[in-house]
Amino acid sequence: MPAGRHLLGDYDVYVDETSARLADGTLAGSILSLDQALRNVIQVTGCTLNEALAGMTTTAARVLGQEEERGRVAPGSRADLVLLTPDLHVHSTIVAGEVVYEAAR
């Protein structure tokens, strides 16, 4: 989410490089990107890439009761994918078979 003022429901949220806050200073959520979260999990826990990815995909889908349509690449599942670089930054994002984001090269 870019820095600046954003609307979250009926609330103005002010985002800078460190946080997202309401006008009174209350935290309004996280600005942590999923790829940074993946790198953090691996660094902090020492788990493998496969273990970290499972936690963010198949395990998360199962916990939410959505394992039949999310969290895996298989016929009948949603085809939303994030392709990562070798250093685990987002290279591109594919939603419903269409590339919707590509990192600058």
Residues 7-42 have pLDDT tens digits of 999 999 999 999 999 999 999 988 999 999 999 999
Q: Which helix (H) or strand (E) holds 38?
A: helix 34-45
pLDDT at 85 over 80: yes
pLDDT at 79 over 80: no
The answer to whether 93 and 83 are in contact (CB under 8 A) is yes
Among 10, 6, 28, 7, which residue's Cα sits nearest to residue 18?
28
Band of residue 70 on the pLDDT scale cut at 50, 70, 90: confident
pLDDT at 74 over 90: no
- pTM attached to this predicted model: 0.75
Give the tokens for residue 10: 């009926």
Among 40, 37, 34, 31, which residue's Cα sits nearest to residue 2?
31
